[in-house]
């Protein structure tokens, strides 16, 4: 006699973290030594106090995605520091598949590792600053999901609960979600807003 399948745990709630809007850019720099790797990492640790920062690659090619909600000149200051202190650096002031293909190509020809970035549950696009949600079940297990900005904009509804349910319905993994499951909205990180004219970074030494 075959055993009956164990009942699936019920969805007890959804924690929804909408993506924050802001200016975005990807910064890349060549690190020729462990010292330069440390200097670049310390620089973006500082940037992380002022903006959202996600590492994309580490090693001989250091790259970071940055999203700023504040001072418009922040990206220019980061770009200037990288150009004046490291042999090779560049900035891409947008996010696209081409940007990540460029980083991947540079890493393939150098001693560098690509980080795992959030993948959209609808279209599979990579987005370092996605809309996120955690599906929490009655047995205390959970499932993490993420959605890129393009899909989030496409399926945005009048309120947060309707938006995340619309995205979950379009998820390619065909997640089973109870439409009555309560949704709690989680706010983004608190960031420092620097005073105008403040010196944000000391030169790497």
pLDDT band of residue 201 (cuts 50, 70, 90) is very low
Question: Taking the model in full, what pTM does it have?
Answer: 0.81
Coil, strand, or helix at residue 200? coil
Instruction: Calculate ∠ Cα 31-35-40, nearest 5°.
Output: 55
| Residue pair 168/175 in contact by the 8 Å Cβ criterion | yes
For the chain, what are the domain ranges? 11-18+120-185, 23-114
For residues 137 and 8, the model is more confident at: 137
- The 10 Å Cβ neighbour count of residue 124 is 10
Condensed to tens digits (0 to 9), the pLDDT of residues 3-32 reads: 555 566 788 899 999 998 889 999 999 999
Q: Which two structure tokens, joined as six digits, stand for 184?
A: 């709690």
Condensed to tens digits (0 to 9), the pLDDT of residues 62-107 reads: 999 999 987 778 999 999 999 999 999 999 987 788 888 889 898 9
3-state helix, strand, coil in the chain (%, to 5): 25, 25, 45
CATH 3.30.420.40 fits 23-114, yes or no: no
Q: Is the pLDDT of residue 170 over 70?
A: yes
Nearest alpha carbon to residue 191 among 67, 43, 72, 94: 67
Q: How far apart are CA 52 and CA 96, in angstroms?
A: 18
Q: Is the pLDDT of residue 193 over 70?
A: no
Q: State the pLDDT at residue 190.
A: 53
Q: Judging by beta carbons within 10 Å of its beta carbon (0-12, 13-18, 19+), is residue 70 exposed, middle or buried?
A: middle
Q: How far apart are CA 78 and CA 27, in angstroms?
A: 8
Nearest alpha carbon to residue 200 among 28, 191, 61, 31: 191
What number of H helices and E strands is found in the chain? 5, 9
Q: Look at 58-67, 71-80, 132-141, 191-200 and tell me which has the smallest mean pLDDT.
A: 191-200
């Amino acid at each position: 006699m075959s055993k009956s399948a164990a009942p699936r745990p019920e969805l007890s709630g959804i924690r929804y973290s909408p993506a924050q809007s802001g200016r975005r850019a990807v910064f890349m720099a060549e690190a020729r030594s462990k010292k330069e790797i440390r200097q670049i990492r310390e620089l973006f640790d500082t940037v992380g106090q002022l903006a959202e920062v996600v590492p994309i690659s580490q090693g001989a090619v250091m790259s970071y995605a940055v999203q700023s909600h504040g001072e418009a000149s922040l990206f220019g200051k980061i770009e200037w520091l990288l150009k004046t202190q490291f042999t090779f650096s560049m900035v891409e002031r947008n996010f696209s598949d081409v940007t990540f293909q460029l980083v991947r190509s540079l890493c393939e020809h150098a001693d560098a590792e690509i980080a795992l970035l959030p993948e959209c549950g609808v279209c599979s696009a990579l987005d370092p600053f996605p809309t996120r949600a955690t599906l929490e079940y009655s047995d205390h297990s959970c499932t993490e999901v993420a959605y890129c900005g393009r899909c989030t904009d496409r399926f945005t509804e009048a309120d947060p609960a309707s938006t995340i349910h619309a995205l979950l319905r379009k998820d390619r993994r065909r997640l089973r979600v109870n439409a009555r499951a309560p949704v709690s909205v989680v706010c983004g990180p608190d960031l420092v807003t620097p005073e105008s004219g403040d010196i944000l970074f000391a030169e790497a030494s």
